Amino acid sequence: MSAEAVPLLAGQRSRSASDSAAGMRRAAAALGDGSSCSRRPVPQNIGHRGYNAAFPENTMVGFQGAVQVGADAIETDLHLSRDGVVVLSHDPTLKRCFGKDEKIADCDWDYLSGLKTLREPHVGMPRLVDLLKWMTEPGIESIWLLLDIKTDDDPDALLSAIADTIASVPPPPSRPWRERIVLGGWNEHYLAASRAHLPGYPLAYIGFSPLYARKFLPPPSGTYPHDDVDFNLLQAALVGPVGACFRRAVAKAGRRLYVWTVNEEAWMEWSVRKAVDGVVTDDPRLMREVCDRMVGGGGGGRRIVVEDGGKKLDKMATRRRSWLGYLSLYARAMVAQAVSVVLIALLWRRLNTKGAKPKVVRENPPVSIPVKV
């Protein structure tokens, strides 16, 4: 796949006059020396389930809010309703977000469409088609999607429905969907189904441990079917020597690396310094501040003022943190790594066997607009 087909290299969208200077700095940093293959010093700002810190997760108001505060992309989760509609929900059940003790897979869209979130503002569950239609509106052309394809549904059925949904929404003439959608899967079978039903689309392995993720990197020798897979990994798993080794291997293989879920400012700064390709965060507004500050340079105590809903956030660019605070962050990262090792050991068989292999291979991509090369 050519570099020009990758959403990360998209130009910046239009912003208000107050946002233009920061947007130009981010665009210049993202494009580097103008080469499509150059590594960008500033990660893409990816809203986790939208703007989860301020709005109900995986809702249209959350997606819109994320873009308004500076997100470059939206991360969202996909499930399949009983009647085959691709809906946006992290959980397979309705209990946590909607207060209903039912599974999404047991409900038709007519029923799901009438539910409202427990969290204010009380809004409904969107479908993938709703999100795609919004992304065709003027001014949103550069926003891209990082999809978290959940493993609760049959991979062939879910990916077939996703492909049909994408094909049903004509993209803006300037950018086909394969330049704006990254398909994320938690194991090899879901990635294979993604490759079969949506050929030519960027793929990303989602996980919480570099141990399993290494199977998608080139082996020392032998056949290798995964040269098109990027990575979307738990950020805590990439801290320390083991994480550094994996990050070097990813860079050497020419892959992209997204990290989740990064909400502490110190880890956002860490992500910028380590030159990851994207940061998935509940607070895209704070991530935008961090990127603007680190791109703008100047050192010292340059002040960043961001307009948001009539409120001014006036923060010092450099903040003093105690050694105890840093020690706490790294200790939590080490605990997360230990837990991930145990989980991988327990789930290794399931990760390698869950899900049927795809039954249908689509010979032609569902998008009619050719990719620019």
Residue-wise pLDDT tens digits, 251-272: 999 999 999 999 999 999 999 9
Give the residue from 268, 274, 302 showing the smallest Cα distance to 286.
268
Name the token pair of 366. Answer: 């569902």
In Å, how far from its chain's centre is CA 97? 20
Band (pLDDT 50/70/90 cuts) for residue 362 is low
Do 198 and 166 contact (CB within 8 A), yes or no?
A: yes
Among the listed residues 237, 250, 148, the one whose alpha carbon sits nearest the alpha carbon of residue 190: 148
* Location of structure tokens 């050694």: 323
32-85 tens-digit pLDDT: 333 333 344 689 999 999 999 999 999 999 999 999 999 999 999 999 999 999
Q: Please state the pTM of the whole predicted model.
A: 0.79
Which are the contacts of 317, defined by CB distance < 8 A and separation ≥ 6?
Answer: 293, 298, 300, 301, 302, 303, 304
Determine phi and psi for 311, rounding to 5 degrees: -100, 140
Residue 193 vs residue 351, higher pLDDT? 193
Got the DSSP string for 248-291?
Answer: HHHHHTT--EEEE---SHHHHHHHHHTT-SEEEES-HHHHHHHH
Separation of alpha carbons 149 and 159, rounded Å: 9
Q: How many CA atoms lie within 13 A of 100 on its CB side?
A: 17
- Contact between residue 244 and residue 254 where contact means Cβ atoms under 8 Å apart: no
Distance CA 125, CA 77 (A): 12
Tokens of 351: 């990760």
What integer pLDDT is reported at residue 307 of this predicted model? 38
Confidence of residue 373 (pLDDT cuts 50, 70, 90): very low
pLDDT (tens digit, 9 = 90+) per residue, 227-247?
899 999 999 999 988 899 999
Q: What is the pLDDT of residue 315?
A: 40
265 alpha-carbon distance from chain centroid? 18
Domains of the chain: 3-353 (3.20.20.190)
- Beta bridge partners, 86, equal 80
pLDDT tens digits, 306-353:
334 333 333 433 344 566 666 777 777 778 777 777 777 777 666 666
Residues near 150 by beta carbon (within 8 Å), at least 6 away in sequence: 77, 78, 79, 90, 92, 186
Residue 365's pLDDT band, with cuts at 50, 70 and 90, is: very low
Cis, peptide link before residue 92, omega less than 30° from 0: no
Rounded CA separation 30/50 (Å): 22
Instruction: List the beta bridge partners of residue 161.
Output: none
